[in-house]
Structure 1
Amino acid sequence: MRKKAMAFHNFQQDISTIQVPDAFTFPFCYEPHPLTILAAEQLQDYLQGQQDFTHNFGLDHAMSGLVIGKMFGVLVVRDPAGQLGFIAAFSGKLAGTNQHAYFVPPIFDMLDPSGFFLQEEAVINALNREIDQLAANPLITALKAQLIDLKQAQEEELSQLRKLHKANKADRKRQREQAKALVGAEDYSSLETDLIKQSYRDQHEYDVAKEACKAELALLEQELDELLQQIEQRKEERKLRSAALQQQLFDQYHFLNAHAERKSVLDIFNEALQMLPPAGAGECAAPKLLQYAYQEGLTPICMAEFWWGASPSSEIRKHKQYYPSCRGKCEPILSHMLQGLTVDPNPMLQNPAANKTLEIVYEDDDIIVLNKPAEFLSVPGIHIQDSVQHRISQQYPEITGPIIIHRLDMSTSGLLIVAKHKDAHQFIQDQFIRHTIKKRYTALLEGIIQEKEGFIEFPMRVDLDDRPRQMLCYQYGKPARTAFQVVGIEGNRTRIHYFPLTGRTHQLRVHSAHIKGLNTPIVGDDLYGSRADRLHLHAGYIAFIHPSTLKKMEFELPDPF
């Protein structure tokens, strides 16, 4: 088994005292097992010193070229002889190829020079170049300009003819009026006949001129259409070839599970989401690892993925940081591939607020001000109903209209206002819309911030491949603005006040962690930083106008961390 000898790695450290987990890693929310940490560190040592390939991860400033950080994965496995080891993989391609001795092979190698993909891609690329050349033909531009000029000239010609005929018509009317008073009935009848003939001649002259214009225009349009049709024919050919290539590519991706059941990527996404697979589905590290393990008779034990290198400009990725598998591309595939394995329970199906209570800070006939605990939903989720909205509606069945005026992220604690009736809801919500409500959050950051105060601004949107993560996006993102003020330095951490001027999802978390923000994640941020006992983010102050008294109300809570 030559491939296995290359891809299967023995642990270099003694693992005899480490207990093997009873269940496999739930890949979308996990704490790395000690075995996967050892495997990852061994892989990182290899990446640090290897000379097998050259790739600019952005860690060596002396290297030139495009910086591309990578997600790597390790899968601890047991071979048929019972020996524990691990296999490794990377997402996408590495150093321009899919084949590396240290790593498992791809499920399908699109970069194989003799394979159909590159060959057909070359044909499509040639079509692209031909389309560009045809579209750049200067005769097309010239003919389009001639058409514009010709249409303008013809319209002017026909307009002048219409004016002449209108004048002729007025003259005929004048002749009729004069003839009625000067000639007899017989002579008038003869004049009328002649005037009618003149009218017909004018109409015929206009019709002939119009048809001549139309014919002249048609000749020019035909010449242009022949050139444009060549482009459309190439585009249609490209469209058909691209669709056929995509279908052929999908046909190469069939995934195994622990029951040795094989399912195509098309069937997986159709059954799970009723959609076609997104680009790159099956190219992430986790599916590669499990596929290789099943094919080689290796038993999966536990898994972890980490980022190596500089962060992409739009996302938040930290060097050596562990991350869950992406949801958009991997969740349907891994849901199939994990069948037959005993897997850790999905923590997102467990109610984090089960033993927590809502503290009422203030209450009157219009509103309730709450101190929401961390890990407590503001509104019901997909799987969990328990939330501020659910608790309040149960506790106050007499409340009419919407309850929730604004939200806090599940992991954020602090002040939350809820309404007891529709008018109160609308009155306070309008203040949020007009940004007249004053809010202050306190966070503890995983590092030292040198600036005393400042302002962060960049547009954000959801990462469509990995919800609920948010990302920077100048094309489709919405404005996100935050002012900050450093409170103090506590060892290697910074206590900071945030004053959000917009209310985007995860705004403070992303503005903290992103390289274009403070580049320092909040303590306990399991999405953009490192997991801890909790997310150290607290909504500690809020000020607004009361819906009935119209007086300013202020509430402040101490930091719980």
Structure 2
Amino acid sequence: MAARITPMESGQDLSEDAGSLPSPFDELGPALLARRAAEQLQAELRAGHIAPGLPTSLLESAEGGKMFGVLVARLPTGELGFLRAFSGMLAGRWDVEGYVPPVFNRGLRERLEPEGEATVKSLTARAAAARSAPEYVALRAESAALAERHARELSDLKQRHDARRKDRHVRRARLQASRTGGQDASTGTGARVETRQPVGEEGLEQPDDGVERSSPKEERARPASAPHALAPASLGDAASRPPQDEPRLPLASTLHALDQEGRGDKAARPPLDEPRSPLASALHALDQESRGDKAERRRLEAAHEEERQRLAPRLARLERRVRALERLRHAVSRALMRRIHDTYEIPNALGERSLLRALFPHGEPPSGAADCAAPKLLAHAQALGLRPLALAEFWWGAPPPAGGRVSGAFYPACRDKCGPLLPFMLKGLEVAPPRAFAPLPPPTHGLRVLFEDTALVIIDKPHGLLSVPGREASLTDSVLTRLRARYPRATGPLLVHRLDLDTSGLLVAALDPRTHAALQRQFEQRQVHKRYIAWVDGLIQGEHGHIDFPMRVDLDDRPRQIHDPVHGKPAVTEWRILERASARTRVALFPHTGRTHQLRVHASHPLGLGAPIVGDRLYGRDGPRLMLHAESLTFEHPATGQRVTFESAAPF
């Protein structure tokens, strides 16, 4: 099916066909020639026709619209015309009348794709059947129920043990208090006092057993040979011990040493049959209760493990089978994709050709590489011997599920798929360097300070001024640099939050680290109330609502943010209609979170307002300025503790 070369409409200024080819990666929009060609194609799409038999309404489905492209070239007749293309497939077809064909070798692909896809589909079906097998489903359900019951039983046991532990703490505290109270009652001071028998001159206790004994002096006066000195009844009796400086007989010394050793053992080890005190017994019982709880948990965990082990081997066997089938399907799918990639032979203006995989790091092109509109257009122009003059790509139809595309808006070639590919295809052509977005010179007038004290400053930031310096050396002017010049004695990070370059309105800065930490804590805890005013491009239905969907940065198209329900961070915005005029709506926006570009994405995405903010070069259409202004800011002043509100009327 031959692609149609559409002649450029007469009456247009078509003098921009000399010089270099504008870069497909140009961020400032297409050249005039490419824009004129795109407008012709857009007029056809707006009339409701993509091609014969394909209405434009196909692009309004939930799957989103399509990226289209045009390439202006000089025809052999000397006239200007353009080729048209779409990315990927359209309505399940690679070939659509009037559009350029795909880049791959059709014959090779037709030979390998049906068989390879059939194999992948078969493995996919087998893996799905294994996952849905009755035994596998039943075992997974039983395992889930078992895990739920185990968690519930452990939780119940923990609650019981926690209650018992608290009860033991109370009882132990009462026992300790009773012991202390008893000591206080006996001494009046809390000191422990023992009642002892009268003490003799040598300080030894006298046993009160009714036996009349001699005094220590009398004992010392007794002759050493007296039978009483060696009487067994007197051994171990403290009263019978001779003074330290009096020599003992050998037998007496031996018996004395044995007696002392026995006394030491008895002092260290009380008899086993000696009863514990009531306090010691009560404390021991509490310890036993604690050990009992730990043993009870171990028994429950062991019982749970035994139940799991009865189920685990059967479930593990089936899960291994499912994983094996999925690994096999993945390996076969990757091998098929490599073979499909090798059906793409990429040409350039020098007459060179390269396999697609050779142009990408590690030989792994992303899915859809070489199927974008730009490589299709360049490959077909080279096949026809045409000299490219200008190229443009634009989105048409509903936004993609992730957002970030607006119908009719122009976009540069993508970096992930076309970044490694197009430089090779453009070899042999004179190509201008890509123009990158550069902000206009920032306003030269000083910062407009609405409020200041010794702790903080409220600034009304103009649009076009960065909040903090950019990475490039030319982007040093910012709110932060101007604040540091104005308040040279201020310490800490100063700015508590930021506004986009294109957004105007209120910013709060702290003049010391303590105030900064206090304000930042209020932002993190969502205690700061913010109100923004915006004009959006479209008429919004309803009067008030909430937008709540997660966002993250588009890794392939920074700094754009996209909707990602899996990896995105929560983002919540409240909105209220203020005015409707012509095809625009004025809204108040109340962000409850502070994600990058949150209000811009929530306005443009179909899950949000479905209407980009006027002048949004990233999520809508470029204009003189972004119609977004931070109008009101309310927070608690860290120094006074009072709730304060600051306002700045929107300048539009």
TM-score range, shorter chain: 0.7 to 0.9
Question: Residue 497 of structure 2 aligns to which amino acid in structure 1?
Answer: H
Does the alignment pair 1:379 with 2:468?
yes
Matched residue SS, 1:322: coil
What is the rounded CA distance, in whole Å, between the counterparts of 2:435 and 2:551 in structure 1? 28
What is the rounded CA distance, in whole Å, between the counterparts of 2:363 and 2:646 in structure 1? 48
What is the rounded CA distance, in whole Å, between the counterparts of 1:265 and 1:354 in structure 2? 44
Does the alignment pair 1:11 with 2:100?
no
What is the rounded CA distance, in whole Å, between the counterparts of 2:553 and 2:521 in structure 1? 25
What is the rounded CA distance, in whole Å, between the counterparts of 2:471 and 2:383 in structure 1? 35
Question: Residue 35 of structure 2 aligns to which amino acid in structure 1?
Answer: I
Q: Deviations over 1:184-224 (max 9, x none)?
A: xxxxxxxxxxxxxxxxxxxxxxxxxxxxxxxxx99x96x99
What is the rounded CA distance, in whole Å, between the counterparts of 2:364 and 2:470 in structure 1? 26
1:245 to 311, 314, 336: 336
Ranges in structure 1 where 5+ consecutive residues have no aligned partner: 149-216
What is the rounded CA distance, in whole Å, between the counterparts of 1:336 and 1:392 in structure 2? 47
Q: Deviations over 1:459-494 (max 9, x none)?
A: 333334433333333333333222223333344433
1:121 to 95, 105, 117: 117
Does the alignment pair 1:287 with 2:283?
no
Ranges in structure 2 where 5+ consecutive residues have no aligned partner: 145-308
Matched residue SS, 2:37: helix
1:7 offset after TM fit, Å?
3.8
1:269 offset after TM fit, Å?
4.3
Matched residue SS, 2:516: helix
| Aligned positions of 1:393-432 closer than 5 A | 393=484, 399-432=490-523
1:113 offset after TM fit, Å?
6.4
Q: Deviations over 1:364-423 (max 9, x none)?
A: 443333332223332344546424345545665654432332111221111122333322
1:432 offset after TM fit, Å?
0.6
1:283 offset after TM fit, Å?
1.8
2:417 to 329, 346, 353: 329
2:51–2:98 Cα contact (<8 Å) kept = no
1:295 offset after TM fit, Å?
3.9
1:302 offset after TM fit, Å?
1.9
TM-score by length of 1: 0.73
Check 1:531–1:224 CA distance in 2 against 1; reply closer, same or farther (3 A cut). closer
1:70–1:90 Cα contact (<8 Å) kept = yes
Partner of 1:39: 37
1:320 to 389, 408, 418: 408
Partner of 1:167: none
Partner of 1:214: none
1:98–1:109 Cα contact (<8 Å) kept = no
Partner of 1:152: none
| Aligned positions of 1:448-527 closer than 5 A | 448-449=539-540, 451-527=542-618
1:297 to 363, 373, 385: 385
Question: Residue 507 of structure 2 aligns to which amino acid in structure 1?
Answer: L
2:528–2:633 Cα contact (<8 Å) kept = yes
What is the rounded CA distance, in whole Å, between the counterparts of 1:147 and 1:552 in structure 2? 54
2:24–2:392 Cα contact (<8 Å) kept = no
Matched residue SS, 1:114: helix
Partner of 1:74: 70
Matched residue SS, 2:339: helix
Matched residue SS, 2:619: coil
What is the rounded CA distance, in whole Å, between the counterparts of 1:357 and 1:376 in structure 2? 11
1:249 offset after TM fit, Å?
3.4
1:536 offset after TM fit, Å?
0.7
1:307 to 395, 415, 428: 395
1:130 offset after TM fit, Å?
2.9
2:14–2:33 Cα contact (<8 Å) kept = no
Check 1:448–1:114 CA distance in 2 against 1; reply closer, same or farther (3 A cut). closer
Higher CA-based Rg: 2
1:523 offset after TM fit, Å?
1.1
TM-score by length of 2: 0.64
Aligned residues: 481
Partner of 1:98: 94
1:514 offset after TM fit, Å?
2.4
Question: Residue 447 of structure 2 aligns to which amino acid in structure 1?
Answer: E
Check 1:368–1:352 CA distance in 2 against 1; reply closer, same or farther (3 A cut). farther
1:532 offset after TM fit, Å?
0.9
1:533 offset after TM fit, Å?
0.5
Does the alignment pair 1:87 with 2:74?
no
1:88 offset after TM fit, Å?
0.9
Instruction: Among all aligned residue pairs of Structure 1 and Structure 2, give the percentage whose two residues are the same amino acid.
Output: 39
Indicate the RMSD between aligned Cα atoms, in angstroms: 3.9
